[in-house]
Amino acid sequence: MYQNYQLKWSFILIGILVVGTGLVKLSSFETFHLLQYIGNVLSIVFSVLISWLIIAYFKRHHIFSSDKVNAVVSIVLSIAALLAFTYFILNHIPTKFYLSELPYEPTFADLVRRGVGIFFLTMICYVVYSTLFTHDILQKTKLENEQFKQAHLRAQLHSLQEQISPHFLFNSLSTLKTITHEADTKQFVVHLSHVYRYLLSINKHQITQIAEELKFVHAYLYILRTRFEHALKVTIQIPEHYNDYLIPPLSVQLLIENAIKHNVVSLDMPLHIEIYVNDQQELVVNNPFQPKNIPVESTKMGLKNINDRYRLLFNREIVVAETDTDFTITLPLISHESYHH
């Protein structure tokens, strides 16, 4: 609470007001009494804290949907609370503890005078806290943007490194050499160019539509099937009305790559990857758990990268479910209407 409500700055404000009050009273030092000054200090401390906490609570919890309504209600409640606090002190604390030139009078004029002072104190608290609150939001936004840029760059570099690695190029060239028909060679090259074109184009995009991602995935799968033939089977069942939904680019491709990397893919033990939309309108990528005899060392950076991008872009998380027989990743699908960034 101390950090969330910026109480450090409330105490700085209290210190300024306490010192200011002391300096004003130096000119009449002969009438200055320690008990009165202590009473005044305590009054300032409680007044500032009451106003500060009310304003901070409304700022942080968004009680009303409108920021203006939140601001007005917090200011009004602060003024009301300080008036109640002031009149409680005036009616229950002996006058010898007051540091005031004007005695308490239960009149409308006295209420207005004290109300004006309380209004200005409340506005000071509101302006100071609002400035700090806005500054924190800007800093958080800058940090999240920087985190997203790094996550996006890591995803891009990871995929490019995998695709442009000597191993991938060797497999691609080996496949080209084994194809004897010119039409097949042409198809392979076309799909390979689609893969690289998409990889290069994601520099400009933080999100992509399902339709675009699947177009890339189909080109990517063509290359994989040419390499693995019947050892790899990928079933994609995504209704067309989800085509405009949004996901981070390369998400599905990274999950397919991850499944192939960690599982046996052979004619004796084919790998079947299923990609579909569940009843909760989430994208599911599922594959059987058939680990290799020599486990591949995993840093799990691919899954972390996808999750980081979902968190930074959509404030959502992916779900990883692992059993003795299956490995399932669930990705939230984001509609255009719900995406505000």
Amino acid at 290: Q
CATH number of 165-332: 3.30.565
What global pTM score does this model have?
0.50
pLDDT given at position 333: 92
How far is C-alpha 242 from the chain's CA centre? 24
Cα 130 to Cα 63: distance, rounded to the nearest angstrom:
16
* pLDDT per residue as tens digits for the range 139-156: 888 887 887 777 776 676
* pLDDT per residue as tens digits for the range 282-321: 999 999 999 887 766 666 677 888 888 888 888 889 999 9
Domain boundaries, given as residue ranges, for the chain = 7-142, 165-332
266 token code pair: 């052979």
* pLDDT per residue as tens digits for the range 156-188: 656 655 554 545 655 665 566 566 566 777 677
Reply yes or no on whether the pLDDT at 235 is more than 90. Answer: yes
How far is C-alpha 110 from the chain's CA centre? 49
Cα 196 to Cα 176: distance, rounded to the nearest angstrom:
16
* pLDDT per residue as tens digits for the range 35-69: 666 777 788 888 888 888 888 888 888 788 788 88
pLDDT given at position 111: 76
* pLDDT per residue as tens digits for the range 242-266: 999 999 888 998 899 989 988 999 9
Reply yes or no on whether the pLDDT at 96 is more than 80. Answer: no
Based on the number of CB atoms within 10 Å of its own CB, is 305 exposed (0-12), middle (13-18) or buried (19 or more)? buried
* Contact between 220 and 255 (Cβ < 8 Å): no
Backbone angles phi and psi of 123, in degrees to 5: -65, -35
Q: Following DSSP, what letter does each residue of 20-71 receive, concatenated?
A: HHHHHHGGGGGG--HHHHHHHHHHHHHHHHHHHHHHHHHHHH--SSSHHHHH
107 token code pair: 């009149």
Segment holding 13, helix H or strand E: helix 7-25
Backbone angles phi and psi of 275, in degrees to 5: -125, 120
pLDDT given at position 84: 86
Cα 8 to Cα 1: distance, rounded to the nearest angstrom:
11
Closest to 46 (Cα-Cα) out of 84, 82, 8: 82
Higher pLDDT: 204 or 130? It is 130
* Contact between 212 and 221 (Cβ < 8 Å): no
How far is C-alpha 115 from the chain's CA centre? 41
Whose structure tokens read 């063509």? 222
145 token code pair: 């943007």
The pLDDT of 211-217, averaged and rounded, is 91
